[in-house]
Amino acid sequence: MVDRLVHSEANKLRIEAVEKCFGTSGIRLLIPGRVLVGEGILTKSCRKKLKKRQFFLFNDIIVYGNIIINKKKYNKQHIIPLEGVTLEDLQDDDRLEKNGWLIKTPHKSFAVYAATPTEKQEWMAHINKCIDELLKKTGKTPSSSHAAVWVPDAESKVCMHCSKTQFTLVNRRHHCRHCGLVICGTCSKNKFLIQSQSCKPVRVCDTCFNDLCQRRVSNVASDSNAARIVSSANVTNSPVTQQQQASGVVIEHTYDSPVCYARREGQNGGPANGTASVEEQPVYAHPRPSIDATETSDSEDDEYNESSDTIADSVARTLTLEDHKPTFYSEVTCVAQANEEDSASSSSKSTTAQ
């Protein structure tokens, strides 16, 4: 399916057109070996409501963004590597939105919906085909862990952790990054470093925080004695650690990460200088991990950025079923185009000969 399109001029022109639609808000997509397999509009489940998004399926990534002018201009480009993607079918049942499935990745997971059952089957078949071919080519195995799918705000009027706090203008909704539940601020005071999602600690509910901490302790306990002795010797002798010990800083190693979070405490284990607050500062024993290009901030899901995307929403209301219809550049299409070009070429040659 993909091999015939890799070196075609039509594929190059399509990818350049996608780059042009995103303009300066996107990154370069035209690289050797990349093929645009299909494109179309899907309804994405966002934090507050369902929103129309333009999706592009390549043989190695999925790209989507806000629709500013249909087929002409998009913004807020998001890139999802296919090697970490797993699809999960959603049964229609009593859902208001039908023809849906989950796109699950280690960094982020969400639901999307097609306009018809046929389009859903086409999308899922093409995505799964691209994933299979990519994993076969790279020799990698499918990802076993995925980020939780966030429960939409509208599905809960009270905290899903304590079942007591009612959400108001004062008591805002938050999301646990580990389980995806809608929770209150009181039940999500802790943060934990989930490396697949962020290079910084993220908000988690109390239950998930305790669970993640227990895993961290279990992982540390499972290390060999020799490894612990060597690690302890290296850390104790380091100038950074000696300085921290002298100043009364307690080092807390975060789960499965070279990043440590230092908590400054007083002589008796309480806060320093008799203050009630505890100041946490990152201490990097190794170079800070770089942020991958795909880990751009998702403003539509960021609970501290609640922009309404007014332009994209108004454009989405004007889209018809015909606009939603996806286009897939299959091998049949390529062959048909080649036959048309050959026919046109033959006709021109015969005309010249006459």
151-222 classified as CATH 1.10.760.10: no
Res 127 pLDDT > 90: yes
pLDDT, mean of residues 46-61? 92
The yes-or-no verdict on residue 18 having pLDDT over 60 is yes
What's the confidence (pLDDT) of residue 235?
Answer: 45
Per-residue model confidence (pLDDT) at position 291: 30
**pTM for this one?**
0.67
pLDDT at 316: 61
Tokens 């996107």 map to which residue?
Answer: 26
Residues 6+ apart with CB under 8 A from 264: 247, 248, 249, 250, 271, 272, 278, 279, 281
What band does 110 get if pLDDT is binned at 50, 70 and 90?
Answer: very high
Lowest mean pLDDT among 31-35, 252-256, 322-326: 252-256
Averaging pLDDT over each range in 171-185, 230-244, 330-344, which range is the top one? 171-185
Q: Give me the chain's average pLDDT, please.
A: 74
Please tell me which residue, 253 or 305, carries the higher pLDDT value: 305
Q: For residue 32, is pLDDT > 50?
A: yes
Provide the pLDDT for residue 318. Answer: 63
pLDDT of residue 312: 59
> Exposed/middle/buried for 261, CB within 10 Å: 0-12, 13-18, 19+?
middle
pLDDT-based confidence at residue 70 (cuts at 50, 70, 90)? confident
Assess whether pLDDT exceeds 70 at residue 218: yes
Per-residue pLDDT, averaged over 89-103, amounts to 87
Q: DSSP 3-state assignment of 322?
A: helix
State the average pLDDT over residues 232-241: 44
pLDDT > 90: percent of the chain:
46
Domain ranges of the chain: 9-146+301-338, 151-222
Fold of 9-146+301-338: PH-domain like (2.30.29)
DSSP line for 233-301: HHHHTSHHHHHHHHTTEEEEEPTT-SEEEEEEB-TTSSBGGG-S---EEEEESSPPPPPPTT----TTT
Q: Two tokens at 307?
A: 């922009």
More reliable by pLDDT, 222 or 303: 222
Site of tokens 């990698």: 140
Residues above pLDDT 70, as percent of the chain? 63
273-323 pLDDT, tens digit each: 444 444 443 333 333 333 333 333 334 444 434 444 566 566 666 666 566
| Residue 343's pLDDT band (cuts 50, 70, 90) | low
Q: How far apart are CA 114 and CA 116, in angstroms?
A: 6
pLDDT tens digits, one per residue of 153-207: 988 999 999 999 999 988 999 999 999 999 999 999 999 999 888 889 999 999 9
In this prediction, residue 175 carries a pLDDT of 94
Q: Which of 80-89, 105-114, 138-147, 233-242 has the lowest mean pLDDT?
A: 233-242
Stronger pLDDT, 73 or 238, i.e. the higher one: 73
pLDDT band at 254 (very low <50, low <70, confident <90, very high): very low
Selected residue with higher pLDDT from 237 and 290: 237
Contact 171, 165 (CB under 8 A): yes
User: What is the pLDDT, as a whole number, of residue 239?
Assistant: 44
Angle at 316 between CA 311 and CA 318, to 5 degrees: 105
CB 39 within 8 A of CB 323: no
- Summarize the confidence of residues 85-112 as an average pLDDT: 90
